[in-house]
Structure 1
Amino acid sequence: MLRVLICAGALAVPLTAAAFTGGDLNKLCTKTDVASRSACAAYIEGAADGIFNTIDAIGGTTGPRVGQYFCLPPEARSQQLTDAVRKYIADNPNVAGYNASTAVSLGLGKVFPCKTGS
């Protein structure tokens, strides 16, 4: 019987794993408790950093490049990033179903586009 329960549990785990979506991120970011607000900001900053590093690894970030959605100025602050992403998701409801890191890229790109000719 124990073997059956272990096998059933092992099969159920992959079925419960789901992508963290833009809608999930927005729900997290609308919560008012300190832990949720910190988690929201940390996710957005981490996703932005990961995207930046990926672009850097495939060709650099010294100017607009294919796939580079945003260019953050050095003075950009955490709350500005969070506000940009939340506004983008609110203004574009279809983004709620996208992967959360994609929503971050698109939201930051709207507020912090790369300058052409840089």
Structure 2
Amino acid sequence: MLRALLCAAAFALPVSAFAFTASDLNRLCMKTDVASRAACAAYVEGAADGVFNTIDAIGGTTGPRVGQYFCLPPDARSAQLTDAVRKYIAENPNVAGYNASTAVSLGLGRAFPCKSGS
């Protein structure tokens, strides 16, 4: 029985993860309870790490170093990243249906662009 539940969960997770949109992320980040705020920050930070490392690993095509779409300052705080992403989503309503990680990448790219020589 437990094995069947684990298999069902494994098939359900990829579907739900794929469906997490920029609008869903923004709704999560608007909540004020501690768990939601932590989940929002964790998603933004995790997506930022994933996007940066993936693009860097496959040899992307932009940025001062190949693969960089955004350049976070070393002292960047979680709240700054979350605020930048939420601002981008608010100012660009057309991204509401995009995958949430795409919105994170675009928002951070707008707020923390790479400069030549970075």
TM-score normalised by length of structure 1: 0.78
Give the corresponding residue for 1:41. 41
After TM superposition, the structure 1 = structure 2 runs for residues 1-118 of structure 1, keeping only pairs within 5 Å, are: 17=16, 19-59=19-59, 64-65=64-65, 68-118=68-118
TM-score normalised by length of structure 2: 0.78
Give the corresponding residue for 1:3. none
Runs of at least 5 residues in structure 2 that lack an aligned partner in the other structure: 1-7
Runs of at least 5 residues in structure 1 that lack an aligned partner in the other structure: 1-8
* Letter of the structure 2 residue corresponding to residue 113 of structure 1: P
Is the 8 Å Cα contact of residues 26 and 89 (structure 2) preserved in structure 1? yes
How many angstroms apart in 2 are the aligned matches of 1:103 and 1:50? 13
The Cα of 1:100 is off from its aligned counterpart by: 0.1
Percent identity among equivalent residues?
Answer: 82
* Letter of the structure 2 residue corresponding to residue 85 of structure 1: V
Q: CA RMSD in A?
A: 2.3
